[in-house]
Structure 1
Amino acid sequence: MNTCNHSFRLRALLSIVLLLVTVITAILITPSATSSTRGSSRVCVVHLDMAIDEGATTFIKRTFSDCRGYDLVVLAISSNGGYLSSAQKIVNTISQAEVPCVSWIPPGSQAYSAATIIAFSCRALYMGPGSAIGAVKPYPYDEKTAEAVRSLLTSLMVRMCGDREEIRQVASDMVLNARALDDAEASRMGIAKSVSSVDEVVADSLGVSAVEKASLYPNAWEKLLSVLSNPIIYSIMLVAGALLIVVEVLTTGFQGYGVAGAILVILALYSMSLIPPDIVALSILISGAALLAIELFTPGFGAFGVSGVALMAIGIALTVYSVPPEVVTPIIYVVGVGLGSFAALVLFIGFKGVQVVRMKRRGIAEEVVGSVGIAKTDVSDTQPGVVYVADEDWTAYSVRGVIPQGSKVRVVRMEGLKLYVEMLEEQKQ
């Protein structure tokens, strides 16, 4: 019966692994839609429809990596802004990209605050009917930050639109007075070109209409990271993680609170940009392996095992996700599959070995508990003695008083390799 239960648990764990790998792979795959219109030019439309934070930074890095080899990237922006630090990272990514990039604010959309800085970091700006741009006044406001933002925005706008006094004044007003421009005003000033669709953007940028287009959107991980990077969220995670670690330290025995707390602290530090993604993936992998080991050696209801498998699957997925595609050569695939197969084999052998040990321990306990033997030395409840039970010598403690040498004893319970015994009632009389 026990063997069947362990086999069932093993099959359940393997099924969960496959399910998690499938789900996480589906999450990490870039959602894209290629239009049926094909031509000699390739265009990638990147939909930045989110707050400008670490989630957006990760999304832009991924998309520009995926868009290598394309002729043009159209950055479709619809955002109310976000963090200056994240905007600066995105600006650096765009400036270092091998593919030319233009920004487009779709009809009825807006690029405010940090999104404005990103829009002007591209080679050209296009705006649809009813769209708006500007309002870059930092919050909370201080003169030093405002001056730094004004200098950055002015340099980007001058590079895109030319060094004119009107352009410098607009940049200053956007930062100091939160000025915003609609598409008509931006077009009149020569800051943007008015277009109604992405096809017009492509035609004006490349001079061709027949192109192959791919659309890229933020995936589930990037959306989740956008939520986690909010200061309110990562502050709560940091405090909750620290409290869980304290509870684990103060609680008798392993309860798993410490692992959960460590993961929360790691995610909080990652959301604060204090640790790199590979450290997060490694920490999650180690946490998963620790939970699996605990499940193997201290059997319970499988909660630690399921959690360990889930964490290891997520850690592996994050590791694969963070590796640039160009460095994954065929030899990497071969070595990775080989090491993974070896690790799976070792895990299976270890599981079976622990299973056999558990069965032996249960068999010995069932045989010894209740058996009658002889005390070869005095046995007390504080000082161990030696008893002869089931054809073997055992270290034993008395459950009540002192048992004299030579007395008959009965085994009450077994803890590890120690026996707890009592004197037979007939000898007490």
Structure 2
Amino acid sequence: MKHRLPLRRCAFWSGRTKSAVMVLFLSVLCAGANILLTPSTNADEPSTGAFVLELKLDGEVEPILATYIDEGLQDAAQRHAALVLITMDTPGGLSDSMKDMIQHILVSPVPVAVYVAPTGARGASAGFYILLSADIAAMAPGTHAGAASPIIAIGGFPQQIDEVFRKKINQDAMAFLRSFTERRGRNPELAEKAITESKAFTEKEALDGKMIDLIVKSPEDLLRQLDGRTVTRFDGTKVTLALKNPVRASFELSARQKFLARIVEPDVFFVLLILGVLGLYTEFTHPGVIAPGVIGGICLILALYAMHFLPVNLAGLFLIALSLAFFILEAKAPSHGVLAFGGVVSMFLGALFLIRSPLTSGGVSLGVAAAGTVPFAILTVVLMRLVLRSRKWRTATGREELVGLTGVVSSALQAGTEGMVRVHGELWRAESSQPVQEGMAVKVLRVEGLKLYVEPAEVASPATK
């Protein structure tokens, strides 16, 4: 019995080891998920000095960036920050995301400063609205802001629209801009020229026109000039900023947000959607290839996830679906290119109408729309024609391959009685509706089980001509 004790002890410790390894693995997995899902802040927070949280609005205004700004403002409130500093350089973006950012800036319990920097940066289109919505608006030397006219654009190219409709859009944009510029004590009349005349302003013009508060060379200079300054919040309360010896921390995009920020770009979303549909279409028409189905499924799921954030226009989706139907019909019933041309036009327009952004020109660009539409059309029509052509091919395996082949009678066939024929080097039981002598050629009409139904070859041949 002595030899059993070590085995039991070994099994006991093996079980404990497995449990410990499992717990360690789950801990590492949770820690990794936490790193990916949580935005990071890079600074130590001593107990002395005012805390300033810094965010970066760099690139096009889109839903993930709006979520990042919203989370940063929430984090600043939870950590009792003295100021949120948003450094901005943007050409504009989606109007829905812009409005979401502005709404959170206006109700933020922590004062917000928006700083257009570095030199050469801009706060154009949607960025101009965001700049004027802040408690403190500042610009670096050599920057500009404005050009905030609502644009009905297709692929980035402005389109001519009815004058009444244009006035309606402009009035809506102007009212939205006035709703916060007046309460911020800025110049709404001059700011409205960025909408009505598409005017852009240098930092000096913006300061002289009382649209911004400061021109500063660096964030350090901005914080130094804001120390002791009294600002009026959006709700009318006055707050004196105490920013002496500030402790600055950067609020960074999480790895997940950086990845999703690429997916929700209109151009990337359209490409993912097209690749997803094309991959699954290839898999359905050519089963067993596998790779296109896997890639297409992943791309389509990513595109559907992006749709959760983007202001997708259903008309654009319907046009893309209609184009796919046109391409399939072109392959089945050639229309001398009419259906294919209709499919190209439908997909192209669907791409351009895919994203709604009434106050800004955000959406799928003209180049990406064209680059995605033409190859998709060609591949769809070619793949469907290959499928239809394959259906006409003669079966090359199994009993079905015998149909239509010619054989030689091995034993005479009487009408309605069985005999033997040799087909493809094999001996088969056969039956014919007409008598056939030994050595004559017969043609296989059908196969039932292990029996062939044949007729004389000289009778079948005229019918096939």
Q: Distance in 1 between matches of 2:206 and 2:287?
A: 66
Partner of 1:390: none
Structure 2 CA distance for partners of 1:118 and 1:246, relative to 1, 3 Å:
same
Cα deviation 1:94-135 (Å, max 9, x = unaligned): 234332212112241221110111112221211222221111
> What's the offset of the Cα at 1:136?
0.6
Cα deviation 1:127-155 (Å, max 9, x = unaligned): 22222111112332551333322221222
The one-letter code of the counterpart of 2:73 is F
Q: Distance in 2 between matches of 1:257 and 1:17?
A: 33
Q: Distance in 2 between matches of 1:200 and 1:261?
A: 51
Partner of 1:195: 216
Is the partner of 2:247 in helix, strand or coil?
strand
Structure 2 CA distance for partners of 1:207 and 1:154, relative to 1, 3 Å:
same
Partner of 1:51: 60
Which of 124, 132, 141 is residue 129 of structure 1 equivalent to?
Answer: 141
The one-letter code of the counterpart of 2:96 is S
The one-letter code of the counterpart of 1:60 is I
Q: Distance in 2 between matches of 1:18 and 1:256?
A: 34
Is the partner of 1:209 in helix, strand or coil?
coil
Which of 98, 101, 117 is residue 112 of structure 2 equivalent to?
Answer: 101
Which of 143, 165, 173 is residue 193 of structure 2 equivalent to?
Answer: 173
Is the partner of 1:82 in helix, strand or coil?
coil
Structure 2 CA distance for partners of 1:269 and 1:44, relative to 1, 3 Å:
same
Is the partner of 1:159 in helix, strand or coil?
coil
Q: Distance in 1 between matches of 2:85 and 2:44?
A: 15
In the alignment, is the contact (CA less than 8 A) between 1:38 and 1:210 conserved in 2? no
Is there any run of 5+ residues in structure 2 with no aligned partner, and where? Answer: 1-24, 230-240, 312-398, 400-425, 429-465
Partner of 2:82: 71
Q: Distance in 1 between matches of 2:94 and 2:290?
A: 38
Structure 2 CA distance for partners of 1:252 and 1:135, relative to 1, 3 Å:
closer
Structure 2 CA distance for partners of 1:148 and 1:226, relative to 1, 3 Å:
farther
Q: Distance in 2 between matches of 1:123 and 1:94?
A: 8
Q: Distance in 2 between matches of 1:39 and 1:180?
A: 41
**Stretch deviating more after TM superposition (152-161 or 22-31):** 22-31
Partner of 1:81: 92
Q: Distance in 1 between matches of 2:251 and 2:308?
A: 24
Q: Distance in 1 between matches of 2:52 and 2:170?
A: 36
Structure 2 CA distance for partners of 1:66 and 1:256, relative to 1, 3 Å:
farther
Q: What is the aligned residue count?
A: 263
Partner of 2:128: 116
Structure 2 CA distance for partners of 1:229 and 1:183, relative to 1, 3 Å:
same
Q: Distance in 2 between matches of 1:95 and 1:270?
A: 29
Is the partner of 1:58 in helix, strand or coil?
helix
Q: Distance in 1 between matches of 2:70 and 2:297?
A: 27
Partner of 2:69: 60
Which of 154, 167, 179 is residue 178 of structure 2 equivalent to?
Answer: 154
> What's the offset of the Cα at 1:157?
1.7
Are 2:257 and 1:222 equivalent residues in the alignment? yes
> What's the offset of the Cα at 1:251?
4.7
Structure 2 CA distance for partners of 1:211 and 1:39, relative to 1, 3 Å:
farther
In the alignment, is the contact (CA less than 8 A) between 1:77 and 1:105 conserved in 2? yes
The one-letter code of the counterpart of 1:170 is L
Is the partner of 2:142 in helix, strand or coil?
coil
User: 1 or 2, which has the higher helix percentage?
Assistant: 1
Q: Distance in 2 between matches of 1:84 and 1:259?
A: 34
Partner of 2:41: 32
In the alignment, is the contact (CA less than 8 A) between 2:50 and 2:244 conserved in 1? no
Structure 2 CA distance for partners of 1:66 and 1:132, relative to 1, 3 Å:
same
Structure 2 CA distance for partners of 1:136 and 1:250, relative to 1, 3 Å:
same
Q: TM-score, normalised to structure 1's length?
A: 0.53
In the alignment, is the contact (CA less than 8 A) between 1:134 and 1:178 conserved in 2? yes
The one-letter code of the counterpart of 1:152 is F
Structure 2 CA distance for partners of 1:401 and 1:60, relative to 1, 3 Å:
farther
Are 2:308 and 1:273 equivalent residues in the alignment? yes
Cα deviation 1:155-179 (Å, max 9, x = unaligned): 22212125xxxx2321221012121
Partner of 2:403: none
> What's the offset of the Cα at 1:201?
2.9
> What's the offset of the Cα at 1:180?
1.4
Structure 2 CA distance for partners of 1:136 and 1:233, relative to 1, 3 Å:
same
The aligned runs of 1:207-356 (5 Å cut-off) are 207-252=242-287, 255=290, 257-258=292-293, 260-273=295-308
Q: Distance in 2 between matches of 1:35 and 1:197?
A: 21
Is the partner of 2:55 in helix, strand or coil?
strand
Q: Distance in 1 between matches of 2:242 and 2:28?
A: 47
> What's the offset of the Cα at 1:194?
1.9
Q: Distance in 2 between matches of 1:178 and 1:202?
A: 32
Is the partner of 2:277 in helix, strand or coil?
helix
In the alignment, is the contact (CA less than 8 A) between 1:54 and 1:271 conserved in 2? no
> What's the offset of the Cα at 1:268?
1.6
Q: Distance in 1 between matches of 2:90 and 2:137?
A: 15
Structure 2 CA distance for partners of 1:35 and 1:185, relative to 1, 3 Å:
farther
Is there any run of 5+ residues in structure 1 with no aligned partner, and where? Answer: 1-15, 277-380, 382-399, 403-429
Q: Distance in 2 between matches of 1:275 and 1:178?
A: 26
The one-letter code of the counterpart of 2:170 is A
The one-letter code of the counterpart of 2:171 is E
> What's the offset of the Cα at 1:256?
6.5
**Stretch deviating more after TM superposition (188-197 or 41-50):** 188-197
Cα deviation 1:271-304 (Å, max 9, x = unaligned): 233689xxxxxxxxxxxxxxxxxxxxxxxxxxxx
